[in-house]
Amino acid sequence: MKVSSVVMPEKAFQVLRDGENCTVEFYDNVKSNPAVDGMTGQTVPSWDFDRYILQIAYRPNLAAEIEADYATWLQKAKDAELTSESQKVRDYRDNLLNTCDTVYCNAERWAAMTADQQQAWATYKQALRGVPAQEGFPYTVNWPVMPAEGEESK
């Protein structure tokens, strides 16, 4: 996830222990990006960076283990974020498809639609199914526009 902060990460990662589990936060692509304080108008130090979070079971010497193979651990965190964000977008998309099927495209309404209206809904549903194939998925999604009731495909 892209982050902007007035606090620069001190290390490439940190382990935050919570009992038997922990969160490992990784900081990548840290770049200085001075910002203007909205209250004072003064330029203040600021940093932009990518933060990746990995939830794992805590174990002794975990920090040393990560340091010894940092690139692999960073990739695990990136993969975990990608999986999580992808699932969120798919869940939202699936909810839209379900609403489409149960509210707008149920048997009664479908039978009352013109062929053009049915085509508009079929096109919309296909565009929803194609969301995961979009370039930039899951971080950039161009959601299709739901047909208006009574709208015919153009």
22 close to 16: Cβ distance less than 8 angstroms: yes
Tens place of pLDDT per residue across the chain (154 aa)? 899 998 999 999 999 999 999 999 999 999 999 988 889 999 999 999 999 999 999 999 999 999 999 999 999 999 999 999 999 999 999 999 999 999 999 999 999 999 999 999 999 999 999 999 999 999 999 999 999 865 544 4
Q: Which amino acid is at 141?
A: V
Phi, psi of 45 (to 5 degrees): -65, 140
Work out the angle at residue 78's Cα, subtended by the Cα atoms of residues 132 and 144, and round it to the nearest 5 degrees: 20
Residue ranges with strand state E in 38-144: 43-44, 47-57
- DSSP helix/strand/coil, 17: strand
CA distance 51 to 4: 10
Phi, psi of 55 (to 5 degrees): -95, 125
47 close to 8: Cβ distance less than 8 angstroms: yes
Radius of gyration of the chain (CA): 23
Q: Is 26 exposed, middle or buried (0-12, 13-18, 19+ CB in 10 A)?
A: buried
130 close to 93: Cβ distance less than 8 angstroms: no
